[in-house]
Amino acid sequence: MTLHLVSNKPSIIGILDLQGGVHEHLEHLKRLGVAYKRVKQAEDFADLAGLIIPGGESSCLSRLLNIFEIKNVLLGAHQRGMKIWGTCAGAILLASKVVGENSCLDLINITIKRNSFGSQLDSFVSEALIPAVAPEPIPLTFIRAPKIIDVNSDVNILLKIDDYVAAAENESILVTVFHPELTGCLAFHRYFALKCGLKTTGNNYDYIDPLWKNWSWTKHAGII
């Protein structure tokens, strides 16, 4: 008799759906062929290989984690192996030190400063080469972005610009102060999926769909 073993390896990336830019992350994961789901309550953490904490308002997200009683569930899932990626506000939640306020999740040894570029009107776009993520320069979108102003020795810097760090990681956590989900580039979402041990479709790490627009996600009825 032949025994067929069933793998219980987590195979889904969740997006924390409490506040902030959720839809765009879902659309990027869909284009990569990665299984995804929204995460709002404790039971949603089942089968997650990774979790994306999106941009939004970090103080609001921190309060909602406590109101919905999922902060400890999130931390427990991380201890069991779930990887986490925080973009902008998500990076603030994951930091061990936040200038002028208490830290929330304290999962990566960085010091971060909120609203480091000014108001919403000071938002901007640029591009940078990040060799670990893609072989060609990728677009970056900064919206009321924080700056990572210090990192410990156990943190790997992926991108440094002038006097601040814009992207960093440790073994289980990825943080970006910019918003990869607001460009047509799939490089960072592919990088995080691979960090989670998941396969993605295609081979072009910096693939940018020429037809993609920053409102394209509104057309995907299966996502909204």
Mean pLDDT of the chain: 87
Pairing of strands 95-98, 108-113: parallel
Please give the residue that has the higher pLDDT: either 9 or 89: 89
Q: So what's the pLDDT on residue 219?
A: 44
Q: Is 118 left (phi over 0), alpha (psi -120 to 50) or beta?
A: left
Q: What Cα–Cα distance (Å) separates residue 125 from each residue in 56, 145, 162, 177?
A: 18, 11, 15, 12
Over residues 183-215, the pLDDT tens digits come to: 989 999 999 999 999 999 865 544 566 555 655
For residue 15, give both structure tokens: 């997006």
Q: What angle do CA 180, 166, 127 make, to 5 degrees?
A: 55
Q: So what's the pLDDT on residue 4?
A: 40
pTM score, two decimals? 0.88
- May I ask the CATH architecture of the domain 12-219? 3-Layer(aba) Sandwich (3.40)
By percentage, how much of the chain surpasses pLDDT 70?
83
Over residues 33-43, the pLDDT tens digits come to: 999 999 999 99
Q: Where are the domains of the chain?
A: 12-219
Catalytically active residues are 88, 179, 181
Over residues 91-136, the pLDDT tens digits come to: 999 999 999 999 999 999 999 998 766 555 557 789 999 999 999 9
Q: So what's the pLDDT on residue 122?
A: 54
